[in-house]
Structure 1
Amino acid sequence: MIYLDYAATTPMSEEALAVYTETAKVYFGNSNSLHDIGSDAARLLAICRKQLAALINGEEKGIYFTSGGTESNILAVRSIIQAHRHKGNHLITTVTEHASLYHLFQQLETEGYEVTYLSVDRFGRIDIDELEQAITPNTIFASIHHANSEIGTVQPIQEIGKLLRKHGVIFHSDCVQTFGKIQVDVRAMYIDSLSLSAHKIYGPKGVGAVYIDPRIKWTSCFREATHESGFRPGTINVPGIAAFVTAAQHICDHLSDEQSRLEQLRQYFISQITEKQLPIDIEGHCDAHLPNIIGLLVHGIEGQYTMLECNRYGIAISTGSACQVGKQAPSRTMIAIGKETEEAKQFVRISLGKPTTMADLDRLVATLEAICQHRKG
């Protein structure tokens, strides 16, 4: 089967698998244990923390390892706003955040916080003026994703970060989809906090990280938690973290070349769709986008049908974020960029990865052509 759903998850790389296996054998100790075996695990953990921090141009003291992107988002937001609640109760986010954040902010509204949900334009980008107008004296925190997981639109993060820094608003960004695909630099982008996930970059599932600038105060969500400086409870997954950081280093070392290769594949696919005059629109921003995510609107055909037919032809694609699969409602992102409900239900996403070739995309184009012709007939 041709796999074109890398935005949902990636297979573990050979390098990450090898490190996981070796670490599980040799550094199996609990990193909080005081004996030598525990100390060995703790030293490896410290090295991983330093290496991951370097990849985002942050400080090692700001890295906290977690069980993945969702937990990273939730703990980062709750830990920071809890420490700054005395300054105000107004929060800012967008209507197109990942489900883990969108639903968290809805929950926070029931807990006494006021939340402003920024709109996006037809390409999925927020308006900087709308962001500035949303800031009030009670605004303490904003969470704006680096890029959308369904259409791949990249937000002007540096401009956003600079504006929020000027107004003294703490800035968190969900970088789960962007880390390892485009440059992530917490200093250059004025990011105070961000979330990462291993399984999006050929690392293991169940591992992630939060970065919080050491100058930003946070309060633990868990009383008496002893792991990760009290950030979360639970024995640290040292082998998983070592594999995560190995995958991160490898993907960041090849970031520029792979970004260029994926962009060429993306443009090739779009050119083939255009050349064959298929009834398919490419969603998202034409310039500010991730190279690996392509959102498609297949006119007149529900996304679920397109996905199942592609699967029948031996091609794995998705109808959007894997965290939303099974929901009856259409894509929130599609509605936010101005699509009607029926149009929004016609959305599918393809996402490219390291093994993707031009021949894979030729197969996909031929399959989409067959699906469109069959429905038309």
Structure 2
Amino acid sequence: MSDFQKNARAAEAAMRHVFDATPLQRNEHLSERYDANILLKREDLTPVRSYKLRGAFNAMRKVLAAASTAPTFVCASAGNHAQGVAFMCRHFGVQGVIYMPITTPQQKIGKTRIFGGDNVRIELTGDYFDVTLAAAQEYCTRIGAHFLSPFDDEDVIEGQASVMVEIERDLGGMPDHIVMPVGGGGLSAGVCSYVGDRAEITLVEPAGGASLHAALMAGTPVRLDHVNTFADGAAVAQIGVRTFERLRHFDPGQAISVDENRLCTTMIEMLNIEGIVLEPAGALAVDALKDMRNRIRGKTVVCVTSGGNFDFERLPEVKERAQRHSGVKKYFILRMPQRPGALKDFLNLLGPDDDIARFEYLKKSARNFGSVLIGIETSNENNFVRLLEAFKSAGFDYRDITDDDILAEFLI
């Protein structure tokens, strides 16, 4: 047994004085769909609804064990790391300062305050995370505090590896395949270092923040020019230096990128069928199974559902993205004749399963015609084949803007 494995086991044992191990649950729905033994490691069921408190606990306990005087702990985070650090500051009875962007939703700020209580002060600084991070690090330097990285720290990596310690114990050995999300790399670096070559591993990142794939292709961490923050728990501009050193041996083919809109279909499915609330990053591993069907058939597969901090105010957006990806909702700019009966003629083209979800006159583009933004939902994507043919036959000019990101941003 390696020193890393021993340390990860020691960290996991120490955690039991603070919070219970998360369950490893067989999922019948997914197992039947993929003809495999699919188990979910429910990190969405920790006290802070993500695995992040594991790394925070391990790093803080080591710092406190080595220090003669407890330092102030500082972090920069808009989400799960902030909540994990706040929870552990209260547990250890130490002071913490958590820097969060001004744009952080009140729900996340409120939960961080609840977990930290009087042991935590929240500083809202900067519109963007890079500004927030710089402010936190400058504060650390100025007062001599201890900065807690969300992932690029050896003790944090070791703490996140406790996820795998629990999986191995519950299974009585290694699964055939492990699927987990990767953002900054703390969880994946810890689990991969603990597993070694004893199981096959697939890492999953959002397509709009595929920093691991970029690093594997370049041979070194690189900063992405643009990051889609929808899956904010895993969408980072650059993977950690320390974490990448533990992941650089991966083949780029072992890092799957998942489309954010498709990810929404999995979030909705898990909520509606299983009653499991997952944040976008927490659903990455489950969604990736869609690309792995032939590789996992007949095998025991563990998917790490890394977090469930989902603000239900985002549910309409998630449903919208899921419908657009599934092809059952589309948006059009329609050129409508300005004559009596034109709207009725258009409505008569709709089938029994077609529903108008949005109807808005934009402006009159000519005296005899007007532009209309229209959103249509239907029960089956194939219904649009018939409907669009009907548009053409009736002489209604249209433009499908469903996948036009620029127009959608302004109009939808």
TM-score normalised by structure 2 residue count: 0.31
TM-score normalised by structure 1 residue count: 0.34
**Which is strand-richer, 1 or 2?**
2
Bigger Rg, which one: 2
**Which is helix-richer, 1 or 2?**
2
